[in-house]
Structure 1
């Protein structure tokens, strides 16, 4: 009985974590460049159940041993193994703001290990740490440095912060920045061959545990373009996310009812059967 108790409990925990992930996706549906997470559910290893038959098998020394017979497998529950982002391109929206720049994938090589395309990111820096983002909702700080909405410095191709004279600058399709007709710098666009290996943090930021990502212009087969006064929206599908949240809630509720049934059975076993 207790085995089923724990199996239902693992189902509730897994669905709770999935609901939290979907809630985060929904809350970031209007965050520029946000990439929705998807969950991977896995089952714990099954237990093989056997029983001893009453029929005894005589041995050479005259001893009788009980015979084992296979009953079947018992599932021990599920868990949410990980939440991985989907790097599908989000929709583009015109804003009219000079500091809004959309990064658009044109052609990306396919990773031979997982069979999926790589992607490109803006290179930023915060407290001396290099990080990457798809959120092109930039602004200028008090020193006229180009920064993200979270205060991260946007880096150029040489890995240096970009300082401008005003917000009336222009950005070409290949990332070159011109201020008052003068070339200032080129946006630092990094290429991730396997973006699923990046560590996702808050504010739509990603970190690499394998060193700094290469410059996209130096990688053969990588094609991208930039569009000023345009933002890439999140790739969250609100209607689909709401449907998945309802499914997760119903699964949680079903496991909860099973747990309550086990609880009532245990209560009866202790309070009523114990009296006999």
Structure 2
């Protein structure tokens, strides 16, 4: 009976984590470039239940007791949420008419799980990657994200625009006073190697394949649309449906836990009466 408590409780905890993931997706449904997270459930190892006994075998000496085993079946020990995996897919475009907004469109990519990102520099000066092209220009004339992270060129340097008015070609070249500055666009052959951080930034995970300059990779095509931003790839209707299903599953585990509690209370009460 105690194992039943643990099984139901593990289901409730897994549902709670899944609900938090879905809530985060829904709250970022209108965040430009946001990639929804998908939770993966995994079962704990099952236990094999066997009945152990003995059987008597007649012998010339009067009999022999031999041990016997009979397989009854397996016992589930609960589930847990193993990890959350970002869903890398192209979001729809929204026209803003703001020249600092840039949308990165995937073209033909040589790898099934390949994906493209803008290069930015976080507050620690480290190279990071993002799909959020809702950019702006800071007081010093540098192109930055809304969080103030520098947008980098293909050489890893911050891009100086000198103001809000500049042109960006389809191939990602920023034209500032006659100077052409290529935007830093990186490509990863396996997007699942990246680890999601805060503010829409991604970093290479442990043992990840290094990202490469998208312009130098063979068979990599992309397009930049100025005055557009990429929408989040969250489907609000689907997220709401999954949240309702997760909540119902949480309630079912809660009822099972309550039934075990009532059975335990009844058992303790009756044992006390017999004593």
Q: TM-score, normalised by structure 1?
A: 0.93
Q: 1:253 aligns with which of 251, 254, 275?
A: 251
Asked if 1:198 corresponds to 2:190, the answer is no
Task: Determine the structure 2 residue equivalent to 1:241.
Answer: 239
Assess, with a 3 A threshold, how the Cα gap between structure 1 residues 105 and 58 changes in structure 2: closer, same or farther: farther
The answer (yes or no) to whether the contact 1:105–1:224 under 8 Å persists in 2 is yes
Return 5+ residue gaps in structure 2 as ranges: none
The answer (yes or no) to whether the contact 1:57–1:67 under 8 Å persists in 2 is no
SS at match of 1:185: strand
Q: 1:130 aligns with which of 123, 127, 130?
A: 127
String of CA shifts for 1:201-260, please: whole Å, max 9, x gaps. Answer: 111110013475210111111111000000000000000100000000000000000000
Asked if 1:151 corresponds to 2:148, the answer is yes
Task: Determine the structure 2 residue equivalent to 1:64.
Answer: 65
Asked if 1:224 corresponds to 2:225, the answer is no
Assess, with a 3 A threshold, how the Cα gap between structure 1 residues 56 and 36 changes in structure 2: closer, same or farther: farther
Q: TM-score, normalised by structure 2?
A: 0.94
SS at match of 2:259: helix
Task: Determine the structure 2 residue equivalent to 1:25.
Answer: 25
Q: Structure 2 matches for 1:171-186, cutoff 5 A?
A: 171-180=168-177, 182-186=178-182
Asked if 1:166 corresponds to 2:163, the answer is yes
The answer (yes or no) to whether the contact 2:89–2:233 under 8 Å persists in 1 is yes
CA distance in 2, matches of 1:82, 1:256: 23
| Residue correspondences, number | 270
Asked if 1:104 corresponds to 2:105, the answer is yes
CA distance in 2, matches of 1:135, 1:23: 20
CA distance in 1, matches of 2:60, 2:88: 67
CA distance in 2, matches of 1:58, 1:99: 93
Task: Determine the structure 1 residue equivalent to 2:79.
Answer: 78
Assess, with a 3 A threshold, how the Cα gap between structure 1 residues 156 and 47 changes in structure 2: closer, same or farther: same
Task: Determine the structure 2 residue equivalent to 1:91.
Answer: 92
Task: Determine the structure 1 residue equivalent to 2:137.
Answer: 140
Segment drifting more, 55-64 vs 232-241: 55-64
Assess, with a 3 A threshold, how the Cα gap between structure 1 residues 59 and 156 changes in structure 2: closer, same or farther: farther
SS at match of 2:219: coil
The answer (yes or no) to whether the contact 1:59–1:65 under 8 Å persists in 2 is no
CA distance in 1, matches of 2:159, 2:192: 28
The answer (yes or no) to whether the contact 1:56–1:67 under 8 Å persists in 2 is no
Assess, with a 3 A threshold, how the Cα gap between structure 1 residues 59 and 35 changes in structure 2: closer, same or farther: farther
Task: Determine the structure 2 residue equivalent to 1:113.
Answer: none
RMSD of aligned Cα (Å) = 1.7
